[in-house]
Amino acid sequence: MADDPFALFDAWYDEAKAAEINDPDAMALATTTPDGSPSVRMVLLKGHGPSGFTFYTNAGSRKGEQLTANPRAALLFHWKALRRQVRIEGTVEEVSADEADAYFATRSRDSQLGAWASDQSRPLDSRETFEARYEEAGRRFDGRDVPRPPHWTGFRVKPDRIEYWTDRPHRLHERRLFVRDGSGWTEGLLYP
């Protein structure tokens, strides 16, 4: 068995990028409210490696507030075309301002303007209000680069557990579990 869960993720992710028709980088992100109520939504993986799995969002969004209040999360990749899943659980940290700036600069201008226009997860009285805010952001930054809004950042899930699940006939699935052990990992199998 492999002893590096990140090398295995790289291999599986490369296969998913070739096999999945839509969004092989889509992952379910599970968080909890301060009182323990679960919440889950899809986000896009924007970086990964031994330091963790990174995505970007509005820090004032529901997920951003939940991650700030309880910096633990779970991720799930489901690659249906490959009949595989990867489950990740761990602590969460905010990325550096430099890292968030660098990623924000790679986004399309429309996405950058949308980050300024949206009060993500807040009630919206009408679509027209949002579109007007988007247009205003376009005028505000006309003719110049769009800077990263102060409320827009990235989060990195630093895994404590990574499970690799492979579908097998008759529900006799294969489950490989990596658990952080100091600076390394232990690996074992789980019953399906």
Q: What is the pLDDT of residues 123-161, one digit of tens each?
A: 999 999 999 999 999 999 999 999 999 999 999 999 999
72 annotated active-site: no
Looking at the DSSP assignment, which residues form a beta bridge with residue 41?
29
Show me where the domains of the chain are located.
5-108+150-190
Residue 78 dihedral angles phi and psi, to the nearest 5°: -125, 110
**What pLDDT sits at residue 123?**
92
DSSP character string of the chain: --S-HHHHHHHHHHHHHHH-SS-TTEEEEEEE-TT--EEEEEEE--EEETTEEEEEEETTSHHHHHHHHS-EEEEEEEEGGGTEEEEEEEEEEEPPHHHHHHHHHHS-HHHHHHHHH--TTS--S-HHHHHHHHHHHHHHTTTSPPPPPTTEEEEEEEEEEEEEEE--GGG--EEEEEEEETTEEEEEEE--
pLDDT confidence of 2, banded at 50, 70, 90?
A: low
Which CATH number describes the domain made up of 5-108+150-190? 2.30.110.10
Name the pTM for this structure: 0.94
Catalytic residue among 127, 171, 175, 180: 171
Mean pLDDT of the chain: 96
